[in-house]
Amino acid sequence: MDEVDRQLLRRYRVRLVSELQVAELWDALLSRELFTRDMIEEIQRAGSGSRRDQARQLVTDLETRGRQALPLFISCLEDTGQGTLASFLRSSRQAAKQDPEAVRPLGHLVPVVVGPMGLKSKEQRVVKLEPSQPALGNLTPVVLGPEELWPARLRPEVLRPETPRPVDIGSGEAHDVCAPGKIRGHAHMAYILDSDPCGHCLIINNVNFCPSSGLSTRTGSNVDCEKLQHRFRWLRFMVEVKNDLTAKKMVTALMEMAHLDHRALDCFVVVILSHGCQASHLQFPGAVYGTDGCSVSIEKIVNIFNGSGCPSLGGKPKLFFVQACGGEQKDHGFEVACTPSQGKAFDSDSEADAVPYQEGPRTLDQLDAVSSLPTPSDILVSYSTFPGFVSWRDKKSGSWYIETLDGVLEQWARSEDLQSLLLRVANAVSEKGIYKQIPGCFNFLRKKLFFKTS
């Protein structure tokens, strides 16, 4: 979607959320292939599932659906009897195309004035000033109700991206959410991700293991896989999924990816969803299991993409996300003062991705993985749990780590760099459950990384 259409949607977001009759739109959106059925179901589950929450999510997701998304959406409105809204958007779009400056980014709005937080009356309102058309000098008040500003239900542990928050840009000072925009374009401060697609994303999803391996079925992992497929496509990656690979096939798939020509691309992502264990290492701890019960060390996986193995990724960020146990230890945590609402209940549907530490014949070429390691650069390995500890996965909703990572990317990838996003993930996961879990990362990136979201 081009910038004029995107700013138009954001400018009239309040009216769209207020007036859209989403229940009548689903079939039209499907028939015009603007959204898939899975995407529509995800929109329908947004927030509390109310019409307003669904409308808000629909308008947000519409920005990711290509250059013709807005005219196709306008046609869907006309097909479903929402002609007034369709005519308004069409005429506004025509005017904006003639004078793009008339649709100014939200960052240019005059700050809102909010009354005392303690007021609960229906009369409490917030006035936001927007430039009226065509004269930019005139300011027209737009009245918002408290429901639009403070939705009834937010995604757990994740704040909405519209909520201003300080962002640390490395100077030790707090800056508003517009500050990352000043960093993105400076190649010495941040990786430049301007190719479209941005890069390849390989997801290895091991669910069903050979009976002889002694490893259980990873029920719920397909939920994780589907979430990340959608999320990294939204982040402009070409996503490829490999299901139920043996250890040797895992290495083969990774090497095939390393032998591709990445020169026209800006980034690379590997996601491993499997059982895991401790392993001998020099730099990157842990190993993940193939479906045959043989393990591949994280070091071997990472170093397939080093300077000699994949020269076309030299100087480009290479990201590895590992949902697997780092060992068998179960962390009961320690007592801190907290509210009863914190944490996710631990129930019979939660299980671990752990198997015992193996140093014997079940490992795969482990010595080769650590015999000669280059100095790592432009690499980040994000682990779902601390080395040696269990990583929890819910049979219905997927793993704690992937569920939270997906939510944080959805809400904050537009405005924050990867390290800040992973801090949010670690904080949210650490508050879940009776047993505790804390994600972490080995970060050898040289610059800040902001995902491509537009």
Helix, coil or strand: residue 438: coil
pLDDT value at 427 more than 60: yes
List 38's β-bridge partners, or say none: none
What pLDDT does 177 receive?
42
Q: Label residue 212 exposed, middle or buried (CB < 10 Å: 0-12, 13-18, 19+).
A: exposed
Q: Kindly report the pTM of this predicted structure.
A: 0.54
Sequence-ordered alpha helix ranges (H) in 134-239? 146-149, 179-184, 221-234
Q: What is the pLDDT of residues 162-219, one digit of tens each?
A: 333 333 333 334 444 445 666 776 677 899 998 999 999 999 999 999 999 888 899 8
Give the pLDDT confidence of 23-38 residue by residue, as tens digits. Answer: 989 999 988 888 888 8
Identify the CATH assignment for 180-332+341-443 out of 3.30.1490.100, 3.40.190.80, 3.40.50.1460, 3.40.630.30: 3.40.50.1460
pLDDT band at 391 (very low <50, low <70, confident <90, very high): low
Map tokens 């519409």 to a residue.
62
- How would residue 372 be classed by pLDDT, with cut points 50, 70 and 90? very low
Supply the DSSP string of 349-414, one letter for each residue.
TEEE-B-----STTB-SHHHHHSS-PPP-SEEEEESS-TTB--EEETTTEEHHHHHHHHHHHHHTT
Superfamily of domain 3-149: Death Domain, Fas (1.10.533.10)
**Using CA atoms, how far apart are residues 32 and 421, in angstroms rounded to an integer?**
34
Q: Whole-number mean pLDDT of the chain?
A: 75
- 60 CB contacts (<8 Å, ≥6 apart)? none
Using a 10 angstrom Cβ sphere, with 0-12 exposed, 13-18 middle and 19 or more buried, the burial of residue 34 is buried
Predicted confidence at residue 349, as pLDDT, reads 54
Strands 267-273 and 199-205: parallel
Taking 80 as the threshold, does the pLDDT of residue 109 lie above it? no
| Lowest-pLDDT range of 13-17, 287-291, 418-422 | 13-17
Known active-site residue 108: no
Of residues 239, 231, 167, the one with CA closest to residue 407 = 231
277 part of the active site: no
CA nearest to 316, candidates 263, 272, 383: 263
C-alpha Rg value of the chain to the nearest Å: 24
- The pLDDT value recorded for residue 351 is 55
**What tokens appear for 255 in the block?**
């090497």
The string of pLDDT tens digits covering residues 299-319 is 999 999 987 789 899 999 999
Phi, psi dihedral angles at 296 (to 5 degrees): -125, 125
Instruction: Supply angle C-alpha 439, 392, 431, rounded to 5.
Output: 55
If pLDDT is split at 50, 70 and 90, which confidence band does 353 have? low
Q: Where are the domains of the chain?
A: 3-149, 180-332+341-443
The residue from 76, 198, 325, 441 that is catalytic is 325
Cβ atoms of 391 and 329 within 8 Å: the answer is: no
| CA–CA separation, 75 and 217 (whole Å) | 46
Q: Pick the catalytic residue: 200, 230, 262, 275?
A: 275
Q: Give pLDDT tens digits for 251-296.
A: 999 999 999 999 999 999 999 999 988 777 777 888 999 999 999 9
The encoded tokens of residue 292 equal 């045959």
